[in-house]
Structure 1
């Protein structure tokens, strides 16, 4: 989206305007179809007056041929008009999904704040689909209005009284239908909120299923989901009742309106003001008008749900970024010098830290929360509450987050794998010149490839669940190493591997990252031992900096964190 903070109306307007070609085509063909439908009762009345009443076989055959041509035309109009409308709906939904994914994955972040992953998935699927469907509603609405207009003109030609009844009654029905759709809009928004929340909770529970089983918390998790699902069910039932009420009331009003048209037409025929054929045409048109009016009732409901979904989409698209882009650019090439000056964030307190270009620095935090806070600052997922983080002498807050990502790669401890092959995961972020075999060897992932049935072409299931925890860690580390960023920050990359493999990985990282800045945020003695020096973070502050062996001798807190 071009506008920084779109509203729900903006989202709807752009979804329609972006597909204006198909919407225009669909509306034109749909209008032609409805006009043909409206002309059918008129033609039947003409057939009765000019052929049946006069017993004229030639006239009967001629008018039946005209009817056949009209039916062929309205059939093709419906077919291709509906196709254009559906195409507009699907393409608009696709465009919204792309916008949502672009916003969620944007370097500035922030869209995920306050929303569960499942809730974002629901917005990107169900809500985008509902907003896209508004295009079909627009096509249907314009087509129905054309049907009403043609029907009203024919009725005016048949009888001024009947035509005026239709022309005056239709706007009143549309206004009442709009009023009746308001409760549906409110309840539809609440329904989508609860459904998205339930989806988010379900996704979280499935993701943490092994942990839940490990701590015996299955019953508590089921109870939590039962409550969330019940809330979603209640909201859905309220929305369904509102929709049923709206549809029933509109149908009742429409039926009463059609009955008035038929009653007036019958009296006019009885008085001799219109012919038998005109009466048949009037009654046929009265029955025909029920269709467009029902379509307009459906359109009101679609717009009500579309507005509610558009507001939810706008909430994601207009979410403020967690960090904003600065105006400076990194010098090329990036040397990889990192410096923290008086950084306070989360549990960190006035942290001063310097990492020279090409240095391998270990960071051992006695509190895991401090390690997480440090990673957030280094990757600029958040700006520190105080102090500054610099890369090659330039504060990160003055740089575009996208530029930072290309220079600094922070490999999280819980990095996920993608569905695909092992080799595809390894090279996901790698440049074309990357040596994937060397990266896999450094991460000891080559052993995994040799053990798998199809080697590097073995398929990996969603989130890498087909691999063991240690295998996932090694493939994720190989992916980070293959990316070959000027600065690499890895967080506890070996917690699920054995000691022998861990020692091999430590040597592999040291070798492959020679002359490249590397920060190892870990409490693994094997990894810390290969670092040029280690920084001890205790109670959020830097308490000492020295080689691993020296810190083991000096600090009991370090021994407890690293050797316990």
Structure 2
């Protein structure tokens, strides 16, 4: 509201003028009847009709530009909410996506943000309705004190009743949005893994899972729709009864001669006019009920705990690339001590995949160690800004996705401006991928690289990581989907292109480990051995089992 206060004020003011004009229309008609028709005053009739024309012109302009300001406020507020949500989800400190599927986050950033943004329009329309009710009540008080008091006292009661009947709608709207978001998350999850599901013949299980989730979402939506219908029906019934009561009392007053014919027409016209503002207030209550549910979900994402501490320091310039792990304990890791000198190519073999994931999380600062510290050039990573850490230490995950675009665009996205990506393409074997494609390196790549094979995707993702030319590069199983010849070429290419910079290869590939300066074996969460690849193959049974089997 605060961010859109200008449009809210403008929209409310113009809309209030529109509603005041609407309320004055039956009053002017009553005046025309009393003076122009009942008394036969021709000039009074013409003046009254001219006044009606002016009022209609003013209220039309007020509605048009007031509604425009309100819609602009709603769309802008929703956009700002989406921007904040995306910023929080992508924040270097992380944590917003914990326990939420990507499709669920998308639903929150679209549907929930839209509902909460619409509150600005709801507030504007609520003000319009209240102004209309106030003007109608004042006019009715001037026509007849009983009628005016009836409106002034009855309207708050109707508002209170509308608020009460909106409570079930709020609860059911929250459940509806939760189920819908979960269904979206499951759908996105299934689409992302469709190729794998087909490969293992698991489509029926995936379909059954989504069907169950979708059925739950439909049930919640129908419950919310029923609650909405009941709320509308109850409020409409109460409003109709209230307007009928106003018309009945006005008719009795006219029969007794307490008010004129024109005043009776004005009173009945105002009673009919009241249907609009009271219906609008009912709509506003429903919008607020649904928006409160969505606001709670947005607030939960924005207030999510950070995955890592938001340090403010920056790495030394230039970054030397010295990595030090001091008694690091995180996940399955236990008291891991490791020193990596600048320019070293280090191989890491973890017999338990959980150890590899924990190590990658700490090095990329996606998580902070539970104990010990990870240092870059003698500075603990917890003292550094997470974004700055990732600028110095690039962790290329095994399952890295490609973006929709061209092969060249995917690789160049990570490279410094104006850098030559040719060496990165050659070192990763991605130049062979380009040669095999219809349009070479300019061949379009579909979302997540699904138009490429697994091995092609791996090589392009590795080329992107190499093109970034980070001071410290950590790669995780970068060649599991390629043949032995290509794997050996990649090993030599990575060694050559990364000469003089720190490189950590978390892998069980013999070809990659053979080009490393040294290899660390992690067993049961601890460093079990630190030697060359040849020495470990000769001396460690566990290493041979992990690498050569």
TM range (shorter): over 0.9
Residue 88 of structure 1 pairs with residue 73 of structure 2: yes
- Structure 2 residue runs of 5 or longer lacking an equivalent are none
Residue 534 of structure 1 pairs with residue 519 of structure 2: yes
Residues 162-199 of structure 1, C-alpha deviations (whole Å, 9 max, x = no match)? 11111111111111111111111111111111111111
d(CA) in 2 for partners of 1:142 and 1:562? Answer: 72
Further displaced range: 531-540 or 324-333 = 324-333
| Partner in structure 2 of residue 274 of structure 1 | 259
Q: Within 5 A, what are the aligned runs for 1:218-257?
A: 218-257=203-242
d(CA) in 1 for partners of 2:148 and 2:440? Answer: 77
After TM superposition, give the deviation of residue 432 of structure 1 in Å: 1.5
| Partner in structure 1 of residue 247 of structure 2 | 262
Q: Is the 8 A contact 1:341 1:389 kept in 2?
A: yes
Further displaced range: 355-364 or 154-163 = 154-163
| Partner in structure 2 of residue 154 of structure 1 | 139
Q: Within 5 A, what are the aligned runs for 1:161-560?
A: 161-560=146-545
Is the partner of 2:259 in helix, strand or coil? coil
Q: Within 5 A, what are the aligned runs for 1:93-108?
A: 93-108=78-93
d(CA) in 2 for partners of 1:74 and 1:440? Answer: 66
- Structure 1 residue runs of 5 or longer lacking an equivalent are 1-15
d(CA) in 1 for partners of 2:433 and 2:139? Answer: 77
| Partner in structure 2 of residue 40 of structure 1 | 25
Is the partner of 2:100 in helix, strand or coil? coil
Q: What is the RMSD of the two structures over their aligned residues, measured on CA atoms?
A: 1.5
The TM-score with structure 1 as length reference comes to 0.94
Going from structure 1 to structure 2, the CA distance change for 1:183 and 1:561 (only over 3 Å counts) comes to same
Further displaced range: 534-543 or 74-83 = 534-543
Further displaced range: 326-335 or 383-392 = 326-335
d(CA) in 2 for partners of 1:23 and 1:471? Answer: 53
Is the partner of 2:131 in helix, strand or coil? helix
How many pairs were matched up? Answer: 549
Q: Is the 8 A contact 1:434 1:483 kept in 2?
A: no
| Partner in structure 2 of residue 140 of structure 1 | 125
Is the partner of 1:19 in helix, strand or coil? helix
d(CA) in 1 for partners of 2:491 and 2:10? Answer: 63
d(CA) in 1 for partners of 2:11 and 2:252? Answer: 39
Residues 12-34 of structure 1, C-alpha deviations (whole Å, 9 max, x = no match)? xxxx1111111111111111111
Going from structure 1 to structure 2, the CA distance change for 1:84 and 1:473 (only over 3 Å counts) comes to same
| Partner in structure 2 of residue 13 of structure 1 | none
Q: Is the 8 A contact 1:177 1:297 kept in 2?
A: yes
d(CA) in 1 for partners of 2:444 and 2:10? Answer: 44
Q: Is the 8 A contact 1:434 1:484 kept in 2?
A: no
Is the partner of 2:151 in helix, strand or coil? helix
After TM superposition, give the deviation of residue 433 of structure 1 in Å: 4.2
